[in-house]
């Protein structure tokens, strides 16, 4: 099967696709996406996919759907077919569309399957300066609110305090 070049695709779908492609290229979000082969598989979903996907960018057709004589899309599969190469070139593999009351597609969102780099948790937040003891607390001590205090193995009873040895001692 011969794939159309981007110039042929834009010429075939007209100004609507040209504006949509410019919007998609300008709105790429998240970590950099790796371009995919122009023959990649593009799925069309009726609703946004779950957490296994990352948003790549959005398409807006509202100005054209409002009455422009240019081509309007009612079928999300036709839109995906016309923009297939461009969706793949920005790293996308899934298209979700939104229609107006007349059934005309006014928006689309391109997603891609999440990769390991997308799923890694963010690094833990560093404690504020008031929560860190400098220098670090010695044996039998713990840091609370930036102050080293004795740490006993068991809670001390009333009238006892925790000593530097980690044991409870009668208060004087």
| Res. 69: pLDDT tops 70 | no
Can the peptide bond before residue 135 be classed as cis, meaning omega within 30 degrees of 0?
yes
For the ranges 101-105, 136-140, 168-172, the one whose mean pLDDT is highest:
101-105
d(CA 18, CA 83): 10
Contact predicate 95/115, CB 8 Å? no
Give per-residue pLDDT as tens, 153-163.
777 788 888 77
- What percent of the chain clears pLDDT 90, i.e. is strictly above it? 17
In the chain, where the domains are located = 6-119, 129-170
Per-residue confidence band for 93, with pLDDT thresholds at 50, 70 and 90: very high
């Amino acid at each position: 099967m011969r794939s159309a070049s981007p110039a042929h695709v834009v010429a075939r779908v007209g100004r609507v696709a040209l504006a949509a492609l410019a919007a998609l290229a300008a709105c790429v979000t998240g970590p950099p996406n790796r371009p995919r082969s122009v023959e990649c598989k593009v799925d069309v979903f009726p609703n946004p996919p779950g957490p296994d996907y990352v948003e790549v960018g959005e398409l807006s057709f509202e100005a054209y759907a409002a009455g422009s004589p240019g081509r309007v899309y009612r079928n999300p599969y036709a839109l995906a077919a016309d923009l297939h190469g461009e969706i793949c070139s920005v790293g996308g593999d899934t298209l979700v569309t939104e229609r107006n009351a007349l059934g005309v597609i006014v928006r689309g969102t391109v997603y891609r399957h999440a990769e390991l780099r997308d799923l890694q948790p963010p690094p833990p937040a560093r404690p504020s300066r008031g929560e860190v003891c400098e220098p670090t607390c010695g044996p039998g001590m713990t840091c609370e609110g930036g102050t080293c205090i004795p740490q006993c193995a068991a809670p001390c009873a009333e009238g006892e305090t925790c000593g530097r040895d980690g044991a409870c001692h009668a208060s004087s």
